[in-house]
Amino acid sequence: MLAMLELDATDHPTELQEGFNSYLEGEFPKHGQKWEGCTHLYFPVCSRSHWYAIEVDIAKSMMFIYDPDKSFSTDDQIRADLKPMTTILPMLLKKINIVIDALAIEQITTTSKQSNS
């Protein structure tokens, strides 16, 4: 089980491209909402033709990985899959005055598995 995922954007630019502001302001996607005041964020992840879902509970500094097929990804592969998120997420949250340095991770494997391709 992944115990903790450090969120560290110190090796990366401190300013995001202007296009990311549309996410924070709820202008994109079409039915988006402002991130300010949000308590949870949800992201789909596709890696090696396999999909799983991510839930970030901002208040609890927790990340839940919903993947009923644990045999598909190792902990190291999941960390690699989440690297883009762990780079961008702290920068986005900082723009709305939320600082998270690390997220505890819990992998949820009891969700239903999709039976068709």
Tens digits of residue pLDDT in 10-40:
555 556 667 777 777 777 777 778 878 889 9
Chain mean position to CA 77: 15
* Structural domain contains residue 115: no
**Cα(67)–Cα(101) distance, integer angstroms:** 24
Inter-residue contact 84 to 47 (CB < 8 Å): no
* Structural domain contains residue 33: yes
pLDDT tens digits, residue range 63-91? 898 887 777 777 788 888 888 887 788 88
What is the domain count for the chain? 1
Q: Residue 114 is which amino acid?
A: Q
Give residue for tokens 């969700």: 111
Q: Which of 46, 51, 39, 36 is nearest to 84 (CA)?
A: 46
Its pTM surpasses 0.85:
no
* Structural domain contains residue 116: no
For 37, the domain range is 4-9+18-108
